[in-house]
Structure 1
Amino acid sequence: MAFWLLKSEPSVYSFDDLERDQETVWDGVRNNAAAFNLKSMQVGDEALFYHSNIGKAAVGLCRITKSAYPDPTDPTGRWVAVSVAPVRRLARPVSLAEMKAEPGLAHFPVIRQSRLSVAPVRPGEWRTILALAGEASP
């Protein structure tokens, strides 16, 4: 299983929305690096759901339920989407400031490539985020 980071502006689509919907299409990604990451996702992989702009914090965990397929919002057929479902809300949000203060997250995508909306997360980074949230890691 691989780990990922999915960023969304909570005013557009929040973790509350994902919990309400129980599954969603992660579409609208129009960045080559982020699209490559979407194409690399497999069913069962897990992702941190990160609220960008407002909140700037990892707030929940979600699971990939359908691997890459043509993005239904893309008339060109160039871009892909995946489907995701909520796993659980983190015990407490982990803010960007907390992440930046943690030496083990120096290369974490939200710090190193702040504009990338879909990024891989290393297992050690995953465990560190869960620990910062007050949770045990898998």
Structure 2
Amino acid sequence: MADIGWLFGWAKENAIDIPLNADGTANIPKLFELYDEWRERNGGSSGTKSFPKPPKAYSFNRLNTKHHKDHAKEMGFKNPKEYEAAAVEFFNSDRGVLYYSEARNRYYRYEEKTGIFCVSMDGVVNTFNIYSKKKFDLIKRQDKLHE
């Protein structure tokens, strides 16, 4: 999970009850909503959603599967290690636009010019591939991405 300890600290400091899911775990998207509402009431928001800075990516999960080896080859990398290094470098760069999905608790980076698409959660890259603008726009709607 991304580093959201600050969000729990904010809730405690402001006597905000942590919203819970049916299974008793914290409802993180609802907690972000409460935080954004609090910021708006206290003059600290421009009306745009605010999300924590994503953790730096450091590795790729499931790197040695046939699926990922095929993607590495499709993208012109010599081996999975080169592919992993490129994925981590791209995610950690300022290229393209960084998005966040509250629904999936993941960060997405997409560079429209090249079509490079990358998804990371907890510092681990899960997806690195070339996506058309049409495919990205579909993911953007489905996963409810916000800049």
Query: Structure 1 length as normaliser, TM-score?
Result: 0.32
Larger radius of gyration: 2
Higher strand share: 1
Which structure would you say has the larger RCO, counting Cα contacts within 8 Å and 6 or more residues apart? 1
Query: Structure 2 length as normaliser, TM-score?
Result: 0.30
